[in-house]
């Protein structure tokens, strides 16, 4: 498959090195198509350093190929190159990280890296994303590594004391292992490696290697290291397959970097890093990524898919040559400069004062899509402006006019300051909710008996100052008529994740918080109360992960600066219901036109007492049918609405 290391270890299947080579060979045949493997080989060997017959990539080669900025790039404030290199050096030793990591980046090592980071691990990792989280933690944690920020060159990795090629350099003298113990080691973590090795008769070799050191569960991820990676992930989160990374890193102004740092700080706080203990523990990392930021590492997939496409090869031109078996690469003309990335925010009646490119990146780390288990940014959704308190006024009549006429999912965003705070700048808070179903009149929503689609669950979240996510509850108890995901009434305001009291003609009761999380906004849209509880599985939203029961329920009173509703339009190519959802803008306009016509008709209806009772009743029946008077049926006079 490769060179150098191939001949040395092909006949030593009983050693970790030999098994690692055999495993890489199996990865290549199982996880890549022949065409992808051809491109991969061209990319690797055309750039590899050759030393004593061993071909490998060093840190600069890797960073230059992927387009990742590092400390040597004075034009870019990002410095993620060394972090990516240390991750790759660890993953390249899979599944013998304790013996072989950090690995020399030979072709075989890079094959395993590409499989693990492009999410092609379905045939080699039994539990998919859960196993990947363990590998990513190990690649970032300070296990068998020098101090954070230090980076050995690949030349140092490849040479030993005799100046000859070496393939292992594990736990060398001077390396440090964090002291704090972690009692959250999982006994079944061997599964990810065993499933890859069981057909190679390599179980005993792996178990011997695994007994050597389990310090990955005792280690911590340095906050400094993780911050550098998070900044890169926020910047390149919109990256599409084969799209140049420079499209997103070439113009990072001071203002843009400040927005990036703000989102990174909020995300970093979700991991509850402990400075005194040396950083982020495995338990915190695993729980936060799996429960609160499931798509955090998604940008690495299109980034490393660059390995599977070579600009030197143009196989379509080869078909016209006389020698169809020729393997000589065909040079292609230089590429034109990449156009600036298109915004997912469509033009409309207002421009957002809450959303920017960094906030959208933050949202993409946890908001789902209904297609192919992708986050909402990778799935190609677009956001259409529906309502803004700053543009349309702080009126629930205006809110209902714009929101109830939108026939698709919505993104609810609120920004304000914590009430009673002395420094508004330091106490800004941003909240939101993803509501996958259209807002409906309360009567129709409460009579619906259809169970919620598990792939279309709502969520309630806090973006800043700390990332918090409350996932939707798929249990039937959360689908009761008196606990809709979101509800509004001209008397009580907007309620998300609350219990709605029975309707009454004599008194107007207010919604009450229910379950693990809720948001109540007063009718004037001026203040709100946000509640988060570490317990409460009987409500619309589940407790945050990781939860802290000892902290109890937290209630935050907020002075609202702005409130926005954005309509979520799925990618028409990937959405099975694209025709219906894509026309949400047109449907909204049709409903507005209908309301305008009915309002004009209402002005022309003779409601004078002299017209007689029968004329009066006929006119009122007409208006109620149109939904322009009465309660709970649309129009400015409606009393409430909800989305289940």
- Residue 95: pLDDT above 70? yes
Report yes or no: 216 and 141 within 8 Å, Cβ to Cβ.
yes
Please tell me whether the overall predicted TM-score, pTM, comes out greater than 0.85 for this model: no
- For position 538, what pLDDT does the model report? 85
User: Which of 175, 188, 94 has its CA nearest to residue 136?
Assistant: 94
Residue 211 — very low, low, confident or very high, per pLDDT cuts 50/70/90? very low
Residue 326 — very low, low, confident or very high, per pLDDT cuts 50/70/90? very low
- For position 150, what pLDDT does the model report? 38
In eight-state DSSP terms, residue 175 is: -
Q: Give the phi and the psi of residue 143 in degrees, each rounded to 5.
A: -115, 120
- For position 332, what pLDDT does the model report? 47
Report yes or no: 409 and 436 within 8 Å, Cβ to Cβ.
yes
User: Which of 389, 382, 422 has its CA nearest to residue 567?
Assistant: 382
- For position 470, what pLDDT does the model report? 94
Cross-strand pairs, 464: 430
Q: Please give the Cα distance from 256 to 262 (Å, whole number).
A: 10
- Residue 89: pLDDT above 50? yes
Q: Omega into 4 within 30° of 0, i.e. cis?
A: no
Report yes or no: 510 and 435 within 8 Å, Cβ to Cβ.
no
**Rounded to the nearest 5 degrees, what angle is found at the Cα of 358, between the Cα atoms of 84 and 224?**
40
Q: pLDDT tens digit string along 557-610?
A: 999 999 999 999 877 554 444 444 446 777 767 766 766 676 666 666 655 545
- Residue 130: pLDDT above 50? yes
User: Which of 596, 567, 570 has its CA nearest to residue 581?
Assistant: 570
- For position 205, what pLDDT does the model report? 47
Please tell me the least confidently modeled range out of 117-126, 409-418, 612-621.
612-621
More confident residue, 119 or 369: 119
- Residue 535: pLDDT above 90? no
Residue 125 — very low, low, confident or very high, per pLDDT cuts 50/70/90? low
Residue 626 — very low, low, confident or very high, per pLDDT cuts 50/70/90? low
Q: Please give the Cα distance from 229 to 80 (Å, whole number).
A: 6
- For position 101, what pLDDT does the model report? 77
- For position 216, what pLDDT does the model report? 60
Spell out the residues 6+ positions from residue 381 whose beta carbon is closer than 8 angstroms to its own.
Answer: 344, 369, 568, 569, 570, 571
Q: Could you tell me what percent of the chain has a pLDDT over 70?
A: 63
Mean pLDDT score, 442-464: 63
Q: pLDDT tens digit string along 217-275?
A: 678 899 999 999 999 999 999 998 889 998 898 878 889 999 999 999 999 999 987 76
SS (H, E, C) 408-471: CEEEEEEEEEECCCCCHHHHEEEEEEEECCCCEEHHHHHCCCCCCCHHHCCEEEEEECCCEEEE
Q: Please give the Cα distance from 126 to 195 (Å, whole number).
A: 7
More confident residue, 334 or 35: 35
More confident residue, 128 or 598: 598
- For position 323, what pLDDT does the model report? 44
- Residue 494: pLDDT above 90? yes
More confident residue, 444 or 132: 132
- Residue 183: pLDDT above 50? no
Q: Please give the Cα distance from 640 to 495 (Å, whole number).
A: 11
Report yes or no: 643 and 435 within 8 Å, Cβ to Cβ.
yes
In eight-state DSSP terms, residue 336 is: P
Burial class (CB in 10 A: 0-12, 13-18, 19+), 596: exposed
- Residue 78: pLDDT above 80? yes
Please tell me the least confidently modeled range out of 47-56, 80-89, 118-127, 499-508.
118-127
Please tell me the least confidently modeled range out of 61-70, 368-377, 589-598, 611-620.
611-620
The top-scoring range by mean pLDDT among 98-102, 279-283, 312-316, 598-602 is 279-283
- Residue 74: pLDDT above 80? no
Burial class (CB in 10 A: 0-12, 13-18, 19+), 53: exposed
- For position 390, what pLDDT does the model report? 93
Report yes or no: 14 and 205 within 8 Å, Cβ to Cβ.
yes
Q: Please give the Cα distance from 431 to 393 (Å, whole number).
A: 19
- Residue 612: pLDDT above 90? no
SS3 239: coil
Half-sphere exposure of 531 (CA within 13 A, CB side): 23
User: Which of 498, 423, 409 has its CA nearest to residue 456?
Assistant: 409
Helices marked H in 270-388: 282-291, 300-304, 315-318, 357-364
- For position 313, what pLDDT does the model report? 79
- For position 352, what pLDDT does the model report? 94
- Residue 474: pLDDT above 70? yes
- Residue 616: pLDDT above 70? no
- For position 217, what pLDDT does the model report? 64
More confident residue, 468 or 616: 468
More confident residue, 142 or 319: 142
Q: pLDDT tens digit string along 146-175?
A: 333 333 444 444 444 444 444 444 333 323
Mean pLDDT score, 281-309: 93
Q: How many CB atoms lie within 10 A of CB 339?
A: 7
More confident residue, 121 or 388: 388
Mean per-residue pLDDT of the chain: 75
Counting other chains too, the contacts that 544-553 makes at CB distance below 8 Å and 24 or more residues apart are 544/291, 544/292, 544/468, 544/469, 544/470, 544/516, 544/517, 545/287, 545/288, 545/290, 545/291, 545/292, 545/469, 545/471, 546/272, 546/283, 546/284, 546/287, 546/288, 546/291, 546/292
- For position 208, what pLDDT does the model report? 47
List the domain boundaries for the chain: 16-144+187-308, 357-441+454-577, 579-610
Mean pLDDT score, 88-92: 92
Cross-strand pairs, 19: none
- Residue 419: pLDDT above 80? yes
Residue 484 — very low, low, confident or very high, per pLDDT cuts 50/70/90? confident
**Computed from CA positions of residues 7, 11, 15, 19, in that sequence, does the dihedral angle turn out positive or negative?**
positive
- For position 293, what pLDDT does the model report? 95
């Amino acid at each position: 498959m490769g060179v150098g290391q191939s001949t040395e270890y092909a006949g030593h299947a009983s050693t970790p090195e030999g098994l690692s080579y055999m495993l890489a060979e199996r990865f290549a045949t199982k996880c890549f198509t022949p065409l992808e493997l051809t491109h991969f080989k061209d990319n690797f060997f055309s750039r590899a350093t050759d030393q004593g017959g061993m071909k490998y990539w060093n840190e600069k080669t890797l960073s230059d190929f992927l387009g990742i900025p590092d400390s040597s790039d004075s034009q870019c404030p990002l410095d993620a190159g060394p972090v990516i290199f240390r991750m790759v050096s660890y993953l390249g030793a899979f599944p013998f990280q304790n013996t072989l990591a950090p690995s020399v980046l030979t072709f075989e090592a890079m094959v395993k890296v590409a499989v693990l980071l492009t999410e092609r691990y379905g045939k080699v990792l039994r539990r998919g994303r859960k196993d990947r989280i363990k590998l990513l933690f190990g690649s970032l944690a300070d296990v068998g590594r020098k101090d954070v920020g230090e980076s050995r060159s690949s030349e140092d990795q490849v040479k030993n004391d005799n100046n000859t090629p070496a393939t292992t350099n594990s736990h060398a003298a001077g390396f440090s292992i964090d002291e704090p113990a972690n009692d959250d080691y999982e006994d079944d973590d061997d599964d990810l490696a065993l499933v890859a090795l069981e057909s190679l008769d390599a179980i005993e070799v792996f178990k011997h290697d695994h007994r050597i050191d389990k310090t990955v569960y005792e280690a911590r991820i340095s906050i400094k290291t993780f911050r550098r990676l998070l900044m890169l992930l926020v910047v390149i989160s919109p990256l599409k397959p084969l799209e140049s990374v420079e499209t997103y890193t070439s113009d990072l102004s001071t203002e843009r970097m400040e927005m990036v740092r703000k989102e990174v700080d909020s995300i970093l706080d979700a991991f509850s890093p402990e400075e005194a203990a040396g950083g982020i523990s495995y338990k915190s990392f695993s729980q936060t990524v799996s429960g609160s930021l499931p798509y955090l590492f998604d940008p690495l997939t299109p980034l490393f898919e660059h390995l599977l496409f070579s600009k030197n090869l143009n196989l379509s031109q080869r078909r016209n040559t006389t020698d169809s078996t020729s393997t000589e690469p065909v040079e292609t003309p230089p590429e034109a400069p990449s156009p600036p990335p298109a915004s997912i925010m469509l033009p409309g009646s207002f421009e957002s004062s809450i959303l920017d490119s960094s906030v959208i990146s933050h949202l993409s780390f946890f908001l789902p899509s209904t297609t192919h288990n992708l986050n909402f940014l990778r799935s190609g959704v677009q956001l259409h402006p529906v309502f803004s308190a700053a543009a349309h006024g702080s009126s629930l009549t205006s809110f209902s006019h714009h929101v109830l006429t939108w026939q698709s999912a919505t993104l609810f965003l609120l920004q304000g300051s914590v009430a009673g705070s002395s420094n508004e700048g330091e106490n800004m808070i941003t909240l939101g909710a993803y509501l996958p179903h259209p807002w409906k009149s309360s009567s129709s929503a409460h009579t619906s008996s259809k169970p919620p689609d598990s792939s279309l669950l709502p969520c309630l979240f806090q973006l800043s100052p700390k990332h918090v996510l409350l996932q939707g509850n798929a249990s039937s108890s959360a689908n009761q008529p008196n606990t809709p995901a979101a509800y509004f009434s001209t008397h009580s305001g907007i309620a998300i994740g609350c219990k709605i009291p029975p309707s009454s003609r004599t008194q107007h009761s207010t919604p009450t918080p229910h379950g693990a999380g809720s948001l109540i906004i007063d009718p004037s849209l001026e203040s709100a109360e946000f509640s988060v509880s570490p317990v409460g599985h009987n409500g619309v939203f589940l407790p945050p992960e990781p939860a802290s029961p000892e902290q109890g329920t937290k209630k935050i009173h907020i002075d609202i600066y702005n409130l926005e509703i954005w309509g979520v339009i799925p990618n028409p190519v990937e959405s099975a219901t694209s025709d219906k959802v894509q026309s949400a803008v047109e449907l909204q306009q049709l409903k507005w036109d209908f309301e305008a016509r009915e309002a004009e008709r209402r002005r022309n209806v003779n409601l004078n007492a002299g017209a007689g009772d029968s004329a009066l009743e006929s006119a009122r029946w007409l208006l109620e049918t149109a939904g322009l008077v009465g309660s709970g049926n649309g129009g400015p006079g409606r009393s409430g609405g909800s989305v289940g």
